[in-house]
Amino acid sequence: MSETATTDTHCPYCALQCGMGLRRTEGAVPVEVVERPGFPVNLGALCGKGSNAAAVLAPGARLTTPLVRVDGELRPAGWGEALDRIATELSATAATHGRDAVGVFGGGGLTNEKAYLLGKFARVVLGTSTIDYNGRFCMSSAAAGGIRAFGLDRGLPFPVADIPKAGCVILVGGNPAETMPPFVRYLRELQDNGGTLIVVDPRRTRTAELADLHLAPRPGTDLALALGLLHLVVADGRTDEAFIAERTTGWPETRAAAMAHWPEHVEAVTGVPLPQLREAAEMFCAAETAMVLTARGPEQQSKGTDTVSAWINLCLATGNAGRPYAGYGCLTGQGNGQGGREHGQKADQLPGYRKLDDPAARAHVAAVWGVHPDSLPGPGPSAYELLDSLGTKVRSLLLMGSNPVVSAPRSTHITERLRSLDFLAVCDVVLSETAALADVVLPVTQWAEETGTLTNLEGRVILRRKAVDAPPGVRSDLEVLHGLAGRLGHGEGFDTDAEKVFEELRRASSGGPADYAGISYRRIVEQDGVFWPCPDGDHPGTPRLFLDRFATPDGRARFTPVQHRPAAEEPDAEYPVRLTTGRVLAQYQSGAQTRRVEALNSAAPGAFVELHPQLAERLGVADGDRVAVVSRRGRTVTPARLTTAIRPDTVFMPFHWPGEANANVHTNPALDPTSRMPEFKVCAVRLEAVAAA
Ligand code: SF4
């Protein structure tokens, strides 16, 4: 590569996976981000996170040597010593406590190749069923709802470019104006084309400001809202009976469930005035085609799967599925939130979105891996259950691409569980709050220093390409798995070359729901990404799913009758306020990378608690005052930020910061019974003014 060469690649952060170029520089930061206008999803646009992404490549910002804990201190070590220590400790745990006492925890930001090889490492080398990943905390309810209705989970069953061609979009619990700003152009185009945008959010966010109609329900009542809208649609005779008859099953039971939710009752439960409910139903039904897009707001609830089903039911009842410019979709959050949930790092899953308890799936994947199907362990615990069992059932943990000290619900408890482990190994780019607890920390390559595929929120498989060499002392996650597998008796089958791993992934996914068999690195580059399923080299890929049939045995979409139920923790006299959490424009997830970028940190330097002036007045709190938020799980102290853009009965905290500012100190690990998603989006707290020091 010449000194001025620019490499086409993608952003390291969210699921939009914006295309960008990286141009070599002579400075301390070895590349600079430049526009890549030809990539069709973002057409050159980037948010501040993406345009400042190169800063984390600077030598001072990241780890460049393995660290091994000696006499209580993390000290620099060689790779041989570090890998030997991990292999020895994992083996000792398995020998003493059994294979399932060795846990593996992955991440939704890992490339497809890493997620695939991590799952294979757990099942083949460690022989443990104890593997899950932080994507369980992001999209699992949407995935479960999608599979329940359509027989298949792909976040968006259509390209983002279809969104402006819908007549109406209801966006439930998502704030792309801050989380993925380049996506907003599709919402603006929708409106420019005469379509309408309805945003459902307890806060008047920057996205809600754009809407033609903003509905602000109490946190945790999105399910009731969807039922109320369906009730109105039925009562007004606006259902699509031909579509229901030809392409769905289960309507009578779902219709009955919706009719039990009277709009007046829904108004009382949600706090959304009845005229607004009627207006939303009218806007949705008046459109020739309509979409519902959900994000973490309705999904991160202890009834998240049923909530997603309620919104899908609204789509199906109005014929808005299985045809162009209509349907239900989920706005995936993490960079590889889609691909990361397809290739085997989930507790119940084998590559290609195959099920671990399916004998045919086990036989297929075992053949690719060269092992006997009976040697593969069964399904294991979900992410929160895994973390909650650390130090008791699970005694040693290998963690890759996650920072649960900041990002897990009930984070103080999970931090204690991590501290109670016999052994913790962490692979990360930086010394995250979780890595700081580890016995061994391995410094690994990051996005611009390695090649690999990711699958964006549309189901488009894209290629992130290496633009620059990693500093000496840094190795890739694939090299880590290769090194550990070799030490644990598996010298073959763990390639360090990403493209070779992808070739194996193609074979392992062949014939599965997420079929990548026909996708190659070459095709990805030539086609600006390939949409799965793509079963062979002559197949063009599948930008739009379900046009002819749904992925159910009979080809019909399935209605699911659901009932509203309260959040696991409703406000009471002791904890009278609802807390909801989310992201801000300049930070990403646990902030492990973005908090190290000066431009982002100065834009968003710390946490805060957002509250309505009416609530602030009752508490005697002024804007900027320090406020304690107290829940059954802990106490945080942050500055108050007063705004009329939030309901007076609700407060909001962003979740990017650790310590006494960590919003996840409070979040409730009550789990959805189907997806095992914790209830991040609503819990009960009280606020206390903190006297100035
Ligand atoms: S929207 Fe997402 S993918 Fe695009 S630049 Fe921002 S963080 Fe990166």
Q: Can you tell me whether residue 492 is helix, strand or coil? A: coil
Helix 112-120 / helix 477-487 crossing angle, nearest 10 deg: 10
**Pocket of ligand 1 contains residue 13 by CB under 6 Å:** yes
pLDDT, tens only, 4-18: 589 999 999 999 999
Tell the residue number behind the tokens 């410019």, with chain if given. Answer: 325
Instruction: Tell me, in angstroms, the distance from the centre of ligand 1 to residue 11's CA.
Output: 6
pLDDT, tens only, 284-301: 999 999 999 999 999 999
| DSSP state, residue 643 | -
**Pocket of ligand 1 contains residue 17 by CB under 6 Å:** yes
For residue 401, pLDDT over 50 is answered with yes
pLDDT, tens only, 639-691: 999 999 999 999 999 989 999 999 999 999 999 999 999 999 999 999 999 98
Question: What is the C-alpha separation between 72 and 506, in angstroms, rounded?
Answer: 44
Atom 1 (ligand 1): residue with closest C-alpha? 180
Question: What is the C-alpha separation between 328 and 292, in angstroms, rounded?
Answer: 5
pLDDT, tens only, 137-181: 988 999 999 999 999 999 999 999 999 999 999 999 999 999 999
**Pocket of ligand 1 contains residue 481 by CB under 6 Å:** no
Instruction: Tell me, in angstroms, the distance from the centre of ligand 1 to residue 44's CA.
Output: 11
Atom of ligand 1 at shortest distance to CA of 53?
A: 8
Output the six-digit token pair for 313. Answer: 């039911």
How much of the chain, in percent, has pLDDT values that exceed 90?
93
Q: What does the pLDDT read at residue 29?
A: 87
pTM: predicted TM-score of the whole model, two decimal places: 0.96
pLDDT, tens only, 543-599: 999 999 999 999 999 999 999 999 999 999 999 999 999 998 889 888 888 898 889
How much of the chain, in percent, has pLDDT values that exceed 70?
99
Atom 6 (ligand 1): residue with closest C-alpha? 47
| DSSP state, residue 371 | S
Question: What is the C-alpha separation between 125 and 484, in angstroms, rounded?
Answer: 9
404 touches 414 (CB < 8 A): yes
Output the six-digit token pair for 596. Answer: 């190290």
**Pocket of ligand 1 contains residue 583 by CB under 6 Å:** no
Helix 112-120 / helix 498-509 crossing angle, nearest 10 deg: 70
DSSP string, 206-258: HHHHH-SEEE-PPTT-HHHHHHHHHHHHHHTT---HHHHHHHEE-HHHHHHHH
Q: Where are the beta strands (DSSP E) in 50-101?
A: 67-70, 73-76
Question: What is the C-alpha separation between 535 and 628, in angstroms, rounded?
Answer: 54
Atom 2 (ligand 1): residue with closest C-alpha? 14
Question: What is the C-alpha separation between 608 and 614, in angstroms, rounded?
Answer: 17
Question: What is the C-alpha separation between 69 and 637, in angstroms, rounded?
Answer: 31
CA angle 317, 319, 323 (to 5 degrees): 150
**Pocket of ligand 1 contains residue 16 by CB under 6 Å:** yes
**Pocket of ligand 1 contains residue 49 by CB under 6 Å:** yes
**Pocket of ligand 1 contains residue 6 by CB under 6 Å:** no
**Pocket of ligand 1 contains residue 160 by CB under 6 Å:** no
Instruction: Tell me, in angstroms, the distance from the centre of ligand 1 to residue 365's CA.
Output: 34
Mean pLDDT of 235-247: 98
CA angle 473, 339, 657 (to 5 degrees): 60
Farthest-apart Cα atoms in the chain, separation:
72
For residue 3, pLDDT over 80 is answered with no
Instruction: Tell me, in angstroms, the distance from the centre of ligand 1 to residue 36's CA.
Output: 13
**Pocket of ligand 1 contains residue 47 by CB under 6 Å:** yes
Tell the residue number behind the tokens 């989970």, with chain if given. Answer: 153
433 touches 466 (CB < 8 A): no
| Nearest Cα to Cα of residue 86 among 430, 391, 439, 429 | 439
Instruction: Tell me, in angstroms, the distance from the centre of ligand 1 to residue 41's CA.
Output: 11
Instruction: Tell me, in angstroms, the distance from the centre of ligand 1 to residue 193's CA.
Output: 25
Atom 4 (ligand 1): residue with closest C-alpha? 18
Q: How many CB atoms lie within 10 A of CB 96?
A: 11
**Pocket of ligand 1 contains residue 180 by CB under 6 Å:** yes
Question: What is the C-alpha separation between 21 and 210, in angstroms, rounded?
Answer: 30
Atom of ligand 1 at shortest distance to CA of 16?
A: 3
**Sequence-ordered list of residues with C-beta below 8 angstroms from that of 585, at least 6 positions apart, any chain:** 47, 48, 178, 179, 181, 206, 603, 604
- Cα 286 from chain centroid (whole Å): 32
135 touches 107 (CB < 8 A): yes
Instruction: Tell me, in angstroms, the distance from the centre of ligand 1 to residue 146's CA.
Output: 25
Instruction: Give the CA dihedral 178, 221, 217, 669, nearest 10 degrees.
Output: -40
Instruction: Tell me, in angstroms, the distance from the centre of ligand 1 to residue 335's CA.
Output: 9
**Pocket of ligand 1 contains residue 597 by CB under 6 Å:** no
**Pocket of ligand 1 contains residue 18 by CB under 6 Å:** yes
pLDDT, tens only, 501-510: 999 999 999 9
**Pocket of ligand 1 contains residue 182 by CB under 6 Å:** yes
Mean pLDDT of 130-140: 93
Atom 8 (ligand 1): residue with closest C-alpha? 50
Instruction: Tell me, in angstroms, the distance from the centre of ligand 1 to residue 14's CA.
Output: 5
Atom of ligand 1 at shortest distance to CA of 183?
A: 1
Instruction: Tell me, in angstroms, the distance from the centre of ligand 1 to residue 284's CA.
Output: 29
Mutate to test the pocket of ligand 1, among 9, 10, 11 (most ligand atoms within 8 A of CB): 11
| Nearest Cα to Cα of residue 666 among 144, 219, 139, 14 | 219
Quickly state the pLDDT bin for 26 (edges 50, 70, 90).
confident
Amino acid, res. 402: S
| Nearest Cα to Cα of residue 379 among 110, 132, 101, 677 | 132
For residue 59, pLDDT over 90 is answered with no
Atom of ligand 1 at shortest distance to CA of 12?
A: 8
666 touches 685 (CB < 8 A): yes
